[in-house]
Amino acid sequence: MASSPESSSSWLPVISTACGWIYFFCWSASFYPQPTLNFRRGTTRGTTVDFPLINILGFVAYLSSNLAFYYSPLIRAQYAARNHGLTPTVQFNDVVFAAHALLMCLVIYSQYVPRIWGFAPNAGNRPSRPILGLTAGCVVGVLVVVCVVLGSPGRNDTGPGPAAREAWNWLDVVYAVSYVKLIVTVVKYTPQMVWNYRNKSTRGWSIEGLMLDFAGGVLSLVQLVIDSYLQGDWSGITGNPVKFGLGNVSMVYDLIFFAQHWVLYRGADGKEDETDSLLGREEAGRRID
């Protein structure tokens, strides 16, 4: 006998919760293969510091926005006013994941400091100018939104009127912070992808971490779709664009890295003297010296 719609719906919250915790473990575990590989090799050669550095900014933003969506009564009320009375789709596992990811990014970043780990010098031990510029731009952008909200008379409104729906309020600050994470996700893999292309190798770049990241992205999207379906409104996706965008963008990059590792540069060791993909050879040489 076929299951009734009511019976199927009763299982969807369970499936959503399961997807949430499984993707939490997949994404959390994805942070361990790279520092483990670096430690085993005694060097960060083959990777650039741009990736963990910009990841720190991204996960500071992601943790901040998740905390606001999950714990702040004001932000949750303003979200409901703009999204037909619904609550944010951020769950507790999102908060835990963001906190753990930030910690691991700090650990990975520390491996690029020779006096901490004693690793062999690497041309990519210092961040490139484009990444530093992007970091500064994101911080300035959020501060601009904060200033605009501080000047808005409806910044604290939560009622059903147009003020809460249309005026600048603190929800816009949370969105601005969350967009920082989305921007970071869009660009953070680019330095490593270009490095692999120039070096014609993925040596030093952990493929196991990418596999876990890809699995987590799939499950994150599944959970988001189920949660929106259960609420009967797809604003669960439009109201949480960062979570939706994270899964899609990360998976696209993962597929590119899979192609580099298993198809384009399979078995290649690369060039030991290749410099950081976003640095000039002369500048990188001075930094190593």
Q: What is the per-residue pLDDT for 241?
A: 64
- Collect all residues with Cβ–Cβ distance below 8 Å to 286 and sequence separation of at least 6: none
pLDDT at position 112, please? 93
Segments making up each domain of the chain, as ranges: 13-284
The rounded distance, in Å, linking the Cα atoms of 221 and 142 is 27
Is the pLDDT at 106 greater than 90? The verdict is: yes
Radius of gyration of the chain (CA): 21
| pLDDT at 34 > cutoff 90 | yes
pLDDT at 273: 45
pLDDT in the model for residue 272: 47
Q: What is the pLDDT of residues 116-148, one digit of tens each?
A: 999 987 777 888 899 999 999 999 999 999 999
- Within 10 A of 161 (CB to CB), how many other CB atoms are there? 12
Average pLDDT on 60-64 reads 96
> For residue 270, how many C-alpha atoms fall within 13 Å in the half-sphere facing its CB?
22
Strand partners of residue 43: 120
- Give me the chain's average pLDDT, please: 84
Provide the pLDDT confidence category of residue 239 given band limits of 50, 70 and 90: low
Is pLDDT at 26 greater than 60 in this prediction? yes
Whether the full predicted model's pTM is greater than 0.75, yes or no, is yes
- Encode pLDDT of 169-180 as tens digits: 999 999 999 999
pLDDT of residue 282: 39
